[in-house]
Amino acid sequence: MTSECGTGGSGQSSGGVGGDNELAVLATVYRSTRRDGCYVFMRAPGDVDSLPGELRQLTGDLVQVMELELSRERSLARENVETVMANLRTQGYHLQLPPRTGEDSVAR
């Protein structure tokens, strides 16, 4: 299920116009009502209706919890900020799954 996270790539900016603006991304963060610890980051303003159907089935309804500006200087609790930013730029969203526990691994 990590394919939605798009962990591939170098994490480098694709260049282009924008200078310092290219280094920061405004994100809206949504919490899943179906799965504890599951969050979806979307490039702000986020339109949850634009998310793939499979992802919407996994998350159920999404509740907005915050907006934040992501940059290389900012750290996130569970995710690599550059990976999140790259996913927001390329696919418009980033899925953060809850950490796996030993019990989850056996059950799946």
Q: Is residue 11 part of a domain?
A: no
| 25-70 pLDDT, tens digit each | 999 999 999 999 999 999 988 789 999 999 999 999 999 999 999 9
Phi and psi at 28, nearest 5°, equal: -110, 135
Cα(82)–Cα(99) distance, rounded to whole angstroms? 19
Q: Is residue 34 part of a domain?
A: yes
* Residue written as token pair 């610890």: 37
User: Cα–Cα–Cα angle for 4, 93, 19, nearest 5°?
Assistant: 125
Please state, in angstroms and as integers, the Cα–Cα distance from residue 85 to each residue in 9, 39, 55, 100, 104, following that order.
12, 15, 19, 23, 28
Residue-range definition of the domain harbouring residue 87 = 24-107
Cα(16)–Cα(93) distance, rounded to whole angstroms? 20
pLDDT at 7: 35
pLDDT at 8: 36
Q: How many domains is the chain built from?
A: 1
Give me the CATH number covering residue 29: 3.10.510.20
